[in-house]
Structure formats: C-alpha cells, structure tokens
Amino acid sequence: MRPDRLWQREILEQVRRRRSCVVKFVLPLVLTAPLLLLHVPESVRADAFTLLLIFIGVFGTAVGLIRARESGMMVRLAVLPASPARLTGEYLLTHSLFDGLQFLVPLLLIAAPRTRDPFTLIVLGLTFFMVIFAANAIGGMVAVAAGSSGEGHLFAILSVLVVMGLSGLFRDIEGRLDPGIFLPFHYFRDVLLSSAFPIPGIVLSLVVVAALFGTTLLISPRLFRML
C-alpha cells in the first residue's frame, strides 16, 4: 500500500522498520533510567521528564515534516483533494499518539511511587497528552519556518529553550505572574509533584494547546510548497 496521507506514511515507517520501532520504545526507558534509579530530587525529576517530552515532541515532528518536504512528498500530497490543514493535523495527531505510547511506561514508573487517587490520575493523563500535543504543534511551526534541515534543528533547539524558560522549568514561579502559568508544561510538572493543580489554569492551558494546534494548521500550506 502506498501512503496517500502523512499519518499513513508515519505508521508504515513504524511497521516496516521494526528494529527502529523497538528502539523508539526502549529509548525513553534508557533516557529516564537515571531519573528513576538515582537519588534525584523530586522537582528535578519532574522538570527533567517534562523537558524530555518537550524535546522529543518538537524535534520528532519538526524533523519528520522537514524530511517529508525535502523528499518531495509534500508537493505530491498537495495535489490530493484533502486540505493541507487536514493532512498536517492527521500527522500531528498520529505522531502525538506514538509519542504518548513511547513515554507511557516511563510516566507510570515516575508516578508510581506516589499514592494517587483516580481524579489525580485523570488529570495526570490529561496534562501528559496536553504537553505532547503542544510540543508536536510547536514542532510543526518549526518545520514551517525552517528552510532546511539545518535551520530546522537550530529552530527546534531555540524553541525548546524558549519553552523551557517560559514554563518555569528548573525554577520556582509560585506566587508570581509568569508566562508559565498559561502553558500546559507547568501544570504537568505540578501534577507529577502532586502539587495543587488549579482546574481553571488547566482549562486555560487547554485553550493554549488548541491555539497552538490551530496556528500550526493555519500556516501548514507553506509546508506543501516547493523550497
């Protein structure tokens, strides 16, 4: 079967390259092993795991879309009746799902030591996927802005650093008006630490994630143009 959608291409690549697929599921365990095995402060563990999710989401989506564009696949898909926004949205959702599956076990291992009630687990899962969707949406923006793979890597690094700074990772923003309170990464970190998680803040973060996703879809036609 020849893929006529980006999400089909993503799934076929995962199925065909079984060794690569296994590595992708093992790698998160390897990367999070130091956080699980060493005596790391809870705040550092939560910050590092959140940063890892951001990094994987941004880089994975940005690199995947840039490679598809450089291979000419995006130009070929542009002739299909499906809109660029739909094609990009399907890819982002599929890629986000794979990211979530890859990091589900590490998430459970990090959260397991703490006794959690069902409501907290639901909020944890919600904020977990909010982080992944937001990171993938940012990766899509990076792919649109970048003119080459080199630019893509540079923009992705800068994006991760900016998001890390705005989200209050590795620093305390409690009691201050900070951009981090509007981003899902901040609330995911708080839930990992079993801190108080204000529902209005999480709802606002959902709006921010939807805005990031919508912005990526809005500018997605640029991905399907020849460089």
Q: What is the Cα–Cα distance from 137 to 41, expressed in whole angstroms?
A: 30
What is the rounded (10 degree) CA torsion for 37, 39, 44, 45?
30
101, amino acid identity = L
Count CA atoms closer than 13 A to 224's CA, side-chain side: 19
Which SS3 state, helix, strand or coil, does residue 147 take? Answer: coil
- Per-residue pLDDT of 1-42, as tens digits, reads 455 566 566 666 666 666 766 777 888 888 888 888 888 888
Task: Look at the block and give the residue holding tokens 């890819």.
Answer: 91
- Per-residue pLDDT of 103-147, as tens digits, reads 999 998 888 766 567 777 888 888 899 999 999 999 999 999 998
Task: Look at the block and give the residue holding tokens 């980006």.
Answer: 6
Instruction: Give, in order, the Cα–Cα distances in Å from 224 to each of 68, 92, 160.
Output: 10, 15, 25
Instruction: Give, in order, the Cα–Cα distances in Å from 199 to each of 119, 129, 139, 184.
Output: 12, 16, 27, 12
Nearest to 142 by CA among 87, 196, 92: 92
Percent of the chain residues past pLDDT 90, beyond the cut: 26
Lookup: tokens for 113: 């030591």
- Which stretch of 34-48, 64-78, 111-125, 165-179 has the lowest confidence by average pLDDT? 165-179
- Which stretch of 105-109, 168-172, 181-185, 189-193 has the lowest confidence by average pLDDT? 168-172
214, amino acid identity = G
What is the model's pLDDT at position 135? 95
What is the model's pLDDT at position 224? 81
pTM of the entire structure?
0.86
What is the model's pLDDT at position 156? 94
